[in-house]
Amino acid sequence: MLDLASDFQPLRHRVTPGTAVSGEYPVDFVIAEFDGHFVDDLKELTEKCRNDSISVLLLVSSTDREELDLAIQVPAQGFLLLAELTPDELNTALSKVAAGSVHLPPVFANRLLTRARREESSALSPQGRTTLTPRELQTLELLVEGLSNKQIARRLAISQHGAKRLVANVLSKLNCHNRTMAAAVALRERLVSRPGSRARETR
């Protein structure tokens, strides 16, 4: 199936997360299969890939709650369900991730928001709510809308480098590993009222 991703070739196969990025050749994407094991190894892999500007897609074999919860802990740039995987779906996911967006099937989005709503402790301290600048709040609103760095740059009339820096600042201040988690925190903490709404001003 992965070999049918005609828009993104060549594809190379590796057995374990530790061998996925060996430095033997340039890598743009890593597609890692997740079956509930090697969580720590996959976290380490995604961190290394992020430092090397390599995007990670996680291919999840089950929609079981426990497995979804484990998968969401991995700060990947996108998720795929094995049962729903088609060449078109794979090409779409790779294209979105290449553009700086997060690819998230509905079952992942629903589970992520359910977990966020049920958490009793806030990811932000009361003081933490005021640490985002107005510009960063605008950026967060656009993240919730699912925009890529390029689209954020266009909306805010800034460079892509500036958009990338703002996104990095938002993720750092919200203590989130990826855009998906930042969007969930934003909705839970009501930093934005809804996707597409105006971000709430700091006080």
Last residue of a domain, one of 67, 85, 116: 116
108 and 15 in a common domain: yes
The pLDDT, as a whole number, for residue 29 is 81
Question: CA 95, CA 13: separation in Å to the nearest integer?
Answer: 20
Structural contact between residues 192 and 144, judged by C-beta atoms closer than 8 angstroms: yes
The pLDDT, as a whole number, for residue 158 is 95
174 and 111 in a common domain: no
103 and 42 in a common domain: yes
Q: pTM (2 decimals)?
A: 0.57
The total domain count for the chain is 2
Q: Could you read off the pLDDT of 163-172 as tens digits, one per residue? A: 999 999 998 8
Whether 198 maps to a domain, the answer reads no
127 and 87 in a common domain: no
Whether 200 maps to a domain, the answer reads no
127 and 76 in a common domain: no
The pLDDT, as a whole number, for residue 39 is 81
Structural contact between residues 43 and 51, judged by C-beta atoms closer than 8 angstroms: no
Question: CA 112, CA 131: separation in Å to the nearest integer?
Answer: 24
92 and 20 in a common domain: yes
Which domain does 56 fall in, by range?
2-116
98 and 57 in a common domain: yes
144 and 72 in a common domain: no
The pLDDT, as a whole number, for residue 191 is 83
CATH number at residue 93: 3.40.50.2300
The pLDDT, as a whole number, for residue 13 is 54
Question: CA 79, CA 46: separation in Å to the nearest integer?
Answer: 13
Question: CA 160, CA 175: separation in Å to the nearest integer?
Answer: 22
107 and 52 in a common domain: yes
61 and 18 in a common domain: yes
123 and 55 in a common domain: no
109 and 123 in a common domain: no
| Paired sense of beta strands 78-81 and 29-34, if any | unpaired
Whether 51 maps to a domain, the answer reads yes
Which segments in the chain show pLDDT lower than 50? 15, 120-122, 125-128, 130, 196-203
